[in-house]
Amino acid sequence: MKILECNNLTKCYHKKCIVNNLSFHVNRGEVFAFIGSNGAGKTTTIKMILGLVEIDGGEVKFAEQIRVGYSPETPYFLPFLSGYEVLDYYAGLQRISKRERRAEISNLLDTVGLENTGTKVKNYSKGMIQRLAFAQSLLGSPDLLILDEPTAGLDALGRVEIMELIEKLKKSGRTIIINSHILNDMERICDRGILIKSGVQIGTWNKTDYNGISLEKIFIDLVGGMKE
């Protein structure tokens, strides 16, 4: 059952198309990947899905009344707030009642492995900030979670922690879209995806179809090992 369908998505800046006629759909309960090198148009595609940039062509169709959570590539939170306060702020924007908020935030901090000690964001490590971004994306139990480069800038340990977190969410049956250029990570947790080069879809990937062939090999075959 489709939760999201994109048809002929196009975005151009100054006559140059960053995303060109991209079409795909995401099914409920799967982890979907946007695979491509840096600058391939993955983030722009996500922004079009989220309505953060205007679409020049094509359409984005969501299944009716779904809630969407989003974790940005480089999250910024007000440094003088604690993790709890950050989540409280975004929960407030979502009009989650104060009573529900307290329980949900504690639960989410627990889920992402952050302690509610009142530590200010300015004292957080990159990994902690990324996990906090995760937590805010989960506020209000979204039906669809969109994660933009969730492991970007993290060290090996941080990456492992985040991947474990995503796997945990996957097991809970959540639909997730991930955008990453780290192919090993994608291969490990994603079910399906599309490969993008210069804003154009150059192929699709399905874990079940390519049993035994690494995503890296498929990607290099399709992209031609060339940098974009």
In the complex, the residues that contact another protein under the rule CB under 8 A are 47, 50-54, 68, 70, 72, 74-78, 80-81, 89-90, 92-94, 136
Kindly state the smallest distance separating residue 218's Cβ from another protein, in Å.
31
Kindly state the smallest distance separating residue 86's Cβ from another protein, in Å.
10
Structure tokens that stand for 59 in this block: 């359409």
How many CB atoms sit inside 10 A of residue 13's CB? 10
In angstroms, the CA 164 to CA 112 distance is: 10
Kindly state the smallest distance separating residue 137's Cβ from another protein, in Å.
9
Please, which residue, 3 or 68, has the CB nearer to another protein?
A: 68
Kindly state the smallest distance separating residue 54's Cβ from another protein, in Å.
5
Please, which residue, 55 or 222, has the CB nearer to another protein?
A: 55
Please, which residue, 39 or 203, has the CB nearer to another protein?
A: 39
- Cα angle: 196, vertex 45, 180; to 5 degrees: 60
CA dihedral over 187, 190, 196, 199, signed as positive or negative: negative
Kindly state the smallest distance separating residue 184's Cβ from another protein, in Å.
27
CA dihedral over 142, 26, 168, 146, signed as positive or negative: negative
Say if residue 119 is exposed, middle or buried (CB neighbours under 10 Å; 0-12, 13-18, 19+).
Answer: middle
Residue with tokens 């039906």: 143
Please, which residue, 136 or 187, has the CB nearer to another protein?
A: 136
Please, which residue, 72 or 193, has the CB nearer to another protein?
A: 72
Q: Which helix (H) or strand (E) holds 227?
A: none
